[in-house]
Amino acid sequence: MLDVYTNDGGFALNAMRAGARSTTMIDISQDALQRAEQNARMNDFSNFSIIAADAFESLAKLKEENRAFDVVILDPPSFTKSRKTIPTALKAYAKLNRLGLQLVRDEGFLATASCSHHVSEEDFLAAIHLGAMQAGKHLRLICRNSQPPDHPILLSMPETSYLKFACFYVTSL
């Protein structure tokens, strides 16, 4: 299992608790990775590795090393803070998902998220689809979600509807 933008290791820790054979956590922040490692050790987990580097570079390097994972989770920070940079953000989402999908084993899973409130769910899914086509992968959407109740969406404040999450079953084209 690969957890990209792991922060404190939340997805990886849950995967280990659920029985993942091993996890790899990637984040550019050394502080976040120290917390992730501490959290893993506090839970008596040892089947993990940590990569302190840029996500895009790390994914490309893992591809060069012919690594593959049953599950890849992509949970980046916001790629845009304004409407004028939406096209750049969508290119980044397409690239990130292409790189992540290149590491998913056939019949594996991709879980991917966007917390960019300026990016619509429709545009986010289109960027994922573009990344999948570029990676030579076919995606079957098995779960789509939004933020949890502790981050309520206020109809009077559209920016409170920011989180898009999708999980896909992945096969080769």
Mean pLDDT, residues 107-123:
96
Give 68-87 pLDDT, tens digit per residue.
999 999 999 999 999 999 99
Among this protein's residues, is 115 annotated catalytic? yes
pTM reported for the whole predicted model: 0.95
Nearest to 97 by CA among 36, 147, 55: 55
For domain 2-172, the question of CATH label 3.40.50.1820 is answered with no
Question: Among residues 52, 86, 115, 126, which one is catalytic?
Answer: 115
The string over 53-84, giving b where at least 16 C-beta atoms fall within 10 Å of a residue's C-beta and e elsewhere, is eebeebbeebeeeeeebebbbbbbeebbeeee
Mean pLDDT, residues 107-127:
97
Direct distance between the N- and C-terminal alpha carbons of the chain, in angstroms, rounded to an integer:
22
Mean pLDDT, residues 22-30:
98
Q: What would you measure as the largest C-alpha separation in the chain, in angstroms? A: 48
Residue 21 is predicted with a pLDDT of: 95
Alpha-carbon Rg of the chain, whole angstroms?
16
Given pLDDT bands bounded at 50, 70 and 90, which one contains residue 159?
confident
Give 128-156 pLDDT, tens digit per residue.
999 999 999 999 999 999 999 998 999 99
Give me the chain's average pLDDT, please. Answer: 96
Tokens encoding 99 = 């790189």
